[in-house]
């Protein structure tokens, strides 16, 4: 009796999760440009200081040893964590409203967002466990480099596929 009750509760919980997930996905697809841009965290944590050419070329000009203080530590990492899925939503918006988007580029942006979030979580965990920036700096450096590459790819997508949105993109960034 208890085993079947457990199965029923598990099935109900799974159905509830799927329902909530589908609802969030449909809301996400209905977001406007302004909704997405408003949700972005401001770049006041130093990415433009460590980027080679902010928005136009990936790569950073900081070593793993000094990246922590240059991106304002956990604050900058959390901004990257929160912005990564929003940048993917901007890419989806550009693909939807642009002409002939590059599917490989869109897929690489999604992969970058996942990797950024993973690196940020690893860096924050190492920082929380050791209270030292030494271990966290390597993952912070990797997350920052990926974030810079992602912004460069997103800029390319807007330039090539959604030129009419490019000025709004630059203004938002």
- What is the per-residue pLDDT for 23? 80
Residue range 38-83, pLDDT digits in tens:
877 777 666 667 776 666 666 677 777 788 888 878 888 898 899 8
Q: Could you tell me if 37 and 109 lie in one domain? A: yes
User: Over 70: is that where the pLDDT of 135 sits?
Assistant: yes
How many beta carbons lie within 10 A of that of residue 20, not counting itself?
10
Give the dihedral sign, CA 83/138/52/101: negative
Q: Could you tell me if 6 and 62 lie in one domain? A: no
* Residue 36 to residue 139: CA distance in whole angstroms: 27
Q: Could you tell me if 8 and 36 lie in one domain? A: no
- Number of structural domains found in the chain: 2
Q: How confident is the model at residue 140 (pLDDT cuts 50, 70, 90)?
A: confident
User: Over 70: is that where the pLDDT of 1 sits?
Assistant: no
Buried b (16+ CB within 10 A) or exposed e, 157-170: bbebbbeebbeebe
Alpha-helical regions (H) of 30-163: 33-39, 47-50, 67-70, 74-97, 103-130, 133-161
Of 17-31, 118-132, 156-170, which one has max mean pLDDT?
A: 118-132
Q: Could you tell me if 46 and 9 lie in one domain? A: no
Q: Could you tell me if 102 and 22 lie in one domain? A: no
Q: Could you tell me if 80 and 6 lie in one domain? A: no
- What is the per-residue pLDDT for 114? 92
- What is the per-residue pLDDT for 154? 87
Structure tokens at 151: 């912004």
Q: What is the mean pLDDT of the chain?
A: 81
- What is the per-residue pLDDT for 116? 92
Q: Could you tell me if 20 and 39 lie in one domain? A: no
Q: Could you tell me if 12 and 45 lie in one domain? A: no
- What is the per-residue pLDDT for 35? 81
The beta-carbon contacts of 133-136 under 8 Å, at least 24 apart in sequence, are 133/68, 133/69, 133/73, 136/68
Over range 143-162, report the average pLDDT. Answer: 85
Share of the chain above pLDDT 90, in %: 6
Helix, strand, or coil here: 77? helix
- Backbone conformation region of residue 140, classed left if phi is above 0, alpha if psi is from -120 to 50, else beta: alpha
Q: Could you tell me if 76 and 153 lie in one domain? A: yes
Q: Give me the domain span that covers residue 139.
A: 32-172
pTM of the predicted protein model: 0.78
Q: Could you tell me if 167 and 90 lie in one domain? A: yes
Q: Could you tell me if 162 and 87 lie in one domain? A: yes
User: Over 70: is that where the pLDDT of 2 sits?
Assistant: no
Three-state SS for 115-150 is HHHHHHHHHHHHHHHHCCHHHHHHHHHHHHHHHHHH
Q: Could you tell me if 18 and 74 lie in one domain? A: no
């Amino acid at each position: 009796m208890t085993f079947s009750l457990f199965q029923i509760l598990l099935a109900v919980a799974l159905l509830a999760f799927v329902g909530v997930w589908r609802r969030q996905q449909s809301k996400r697809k209905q977001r406007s440009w302004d909704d997405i841009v408003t949700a972005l965290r401001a770049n006041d944590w130093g990415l433009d200081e460590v980027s080679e050419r902010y928005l136009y070329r990936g790569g950073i000009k900081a070593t793993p040893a000094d990246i922590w203080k240059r991106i304002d530590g956990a604050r900058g990492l959390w901004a990257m964590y929160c912005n990564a899925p929003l940048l993917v939503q901007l890419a989806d918006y550009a693909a939807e409203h642009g002409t002939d988007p590059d599917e490989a580029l869109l897929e690489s942006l999604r992969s970058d967002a996942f990797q950024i979030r993973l690196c940020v979580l690893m860096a924050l965990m190492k920082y929380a466990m050791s209270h030292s920036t030494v271990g966290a700096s390597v993952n912070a450096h990797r997350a920052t480099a990926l974030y810079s590459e992602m912004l460069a790819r997103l800029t390319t997508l807007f330039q090539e596929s959604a030129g009419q949105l490019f000025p709004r993109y630059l203004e938002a960034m």
